[in-house]
């Protein structure tokens, strides 16, 4: 019997939601050259916004909720001996690496902004990490130099994900694991984009791209059950290099 049902309203709402997200999202990254955009990012993070980055992470609960993931071993750092923290910012994730990683593990912190690296060094107050100023799309490390990589809210500062993912895959050993956290193309992600001049990523598209590069999504991670239900907190996954 032919169906007489009308098209479902939720589908139209989702379409409208995507249009609203695109309206809110900052599109500077698509309007200027990469060199111009990179200079803008350095100025933003080197300035007042970067100075309050760790405070913002505390107020948004990203630091305590992120720590829970490492403390509970949902992403298990045990056994990792050479860890790379890409885009360390104020050292939010690096602090968890020092606390929950093996005591003899080496930790290398990178960031495009030298000022952010200075802030991370001052905040961490540890002689263990090595700090390296560099671009995610051109990491100054040998192939397979690390067995673990963490990358929190950095990939969205590249116009295309491929160069950054390919570089992280290059310096990650086969069988090595990656903790990837990036901004998703939803309503909260659009506002994050507006504030920090970054782009957003579609979850399904990013997963397909990772798989094409030999980066297998081992598990999706969520800060809390509520974050999972309302699809908040960004794309957070454990990835294994095949």
CA distance 62 to 131: 22
Decide: 120 and 89 in contact? Cβ < 8 Å.
yes
Q: What is the pLDDT of residues 182-236, one digit of tens each?
A: 999 999 999 999 999 999 999 999 999 999 999 999 999 999 999 999 889 999 9
Q: What does the pLDDT read at residue 5?
A: 38
Domain 11-241 sits in CATH at 3.40.50.150
CA distance 211 to 76: 21
State the pTM of this model: 0.90
Chain centroid to Cα 74, Å, comes to 17
181, pLDDT greater than 50: yes
4, pLDDT greater than 50: no
How many Cβ atoms sit within 10 Å of the Cβ of residue 83?
25
Q: What does the pLDDT read at residue 14?
A: 56
Q: What is the pLDDT of residues 113-141, one digit of tens each?
A: 999 999 999 999 999 999 999 999 999 99
- The two tokens of residue 190 are 């659009």
Q: What is the pLDDT of residues 48-88, one digit of tens each?
A: 989 899 888 888 888 999 999 999 999 999 999 999 999 99
- The two tokens of residue 198 are 């970054």
Q: Which residue has the higher pLDDT, 195 or 17?
A: 195
The partner residues of 104 in beta bridges, in order of sequence, read none
CA distance 97 to 129: 10
- DSSP label at residue 234: -
How many Cβ atoms sit within 10 Å of the Cβ of residue 154?
25
- DSSP label at residue 156: G
């Amino acid at each position: 019997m032919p169906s007489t049902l009308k098209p479902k309203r939720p589908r139209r709402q989702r379409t409208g939601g995507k249009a609203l997200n695109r309206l809110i999202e900052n599109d500077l990254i698509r309007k200027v050259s990469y060199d111009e955009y990179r200079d803008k990012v350095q100025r933003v993070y080197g300035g007042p916004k970067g100075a309050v980055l760790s405070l913002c992470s505390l107020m948004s609960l990203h630091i305590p909720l992120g720590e829970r993931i490492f403390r509970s071993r949902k992403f298990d750092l045990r056994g990792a001996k050479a860890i790379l923290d890409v885009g360390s910012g104020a050292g939010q994730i690096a602090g968890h690496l020092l606390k929950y990683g093996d005591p003899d593990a080496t930790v290398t912190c990178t960031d495009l902004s030298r000022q952010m690296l200075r802030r991370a060094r001052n905040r961490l107050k540890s002689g263990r990490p090595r700090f390296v100023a560099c671009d995610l799309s051109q990491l100054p490390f040998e192939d397979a130099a690390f067995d673990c990589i963490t990358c929190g809210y950095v990939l969205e500062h590249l116009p295309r994900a491929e160069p950054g993912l390919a570089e992280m895959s290059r310096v990650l050993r086969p069988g090595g694991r990656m903790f990837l956290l990036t901004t998703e193309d939803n309503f909260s992600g659009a506002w994050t984009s507006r504030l920090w001049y970054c782009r957003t990523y579609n979850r399904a598209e990013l997963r397909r791209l990772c798989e094409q590069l030999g980066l297998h999504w081992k598990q999706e991670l969520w800060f809390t059950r509520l974050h999972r239900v309302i699809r908040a907190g960004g794309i957070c996954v454990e990835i294994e290099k095949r």
